[in-house]
Amino acid sequence: MLPKKINNSFFPCTTKELAKKLLGKVIVRELNGEFLIGRIVEAEAYLDKNDFASHSAVGLTKRNEVMFGEAGLIYIYFTYGMHYCFNIVSGEKGKGSAVLIRAVEPLEGIEVMFENRKIKNFGDLTNGPSKFCQAFKIEKSMNGIDLKKSEKIFIADSNDYKFEIGVSRRIGIVKSSEKMLRFFIKGNKFLSRR
């Protein structure tokens, strides 16, 4: 039985709040009739134009226009010429903010995730933003999908999963690197960096 999709009222909040609220929730992805499910264990908040690490810092462009949409849209971008990254638009429409999903803990559909990643090490399956995207077959064509309306990919409740939240600087950025906007489940073995 699939976990219950969260209510649409979950998404409208500040970007920082959404990053924390997403921890412990599960992402459900239907792929060729099978369901891939993973618990969100690490997320980073990217704010509006005053956050120089955010794609919205340069203003509205063709690449980042989805980021300026309403909360709950999927924002996918391609990085380093080889990897996709999965973000959830947050905050007010027109502001340009989103939460990057950095890592998930695989729960169901693990064999398919291994096939998609072409690896054998379980601990390395989804412990990074591009690894998660490869495992769940997240592609550019998903850019702009509304998580509130989609039945093919959505966020669901995780049924009383208990954890403690850790906070740190974001990983792998230079601009606005002092901001404490990375949130993670303490002690989880699928964090991109422990």
CA 69 to chain centre: 16
> Three-class SS of residue 189?
coil
**C-alpha span between 36 and 48 (Å, rounded):** 31
Q: Are 185 and 36 in contact (CB under 8 A)?
A: no
| Positive or negative: CA dihedral 93, 56, 193, 28 | positive
What's the average pLDDT block by block, 10 residues per block, for the chain (194 residues)?
Answer: 90 96 97 96 93 78 91 90 89 93 97 96 94 96 96 90 93 87 96 80
User: How, if at all, do strands 34-46 and 26-31 pair?
Assistant: antiparallel
Predicted pLDDT of residue 88: 98
Domains observed in the chain? 8-185 (3.10.300.10)
pLDDT at position 193: 74
Q: In this predicted structure, what is the pLDDT of residue 53?
A: 76
pLDDT at 194: 57
Q: How far apart are CA 90 and CA 107, in angstroms?
A: 25
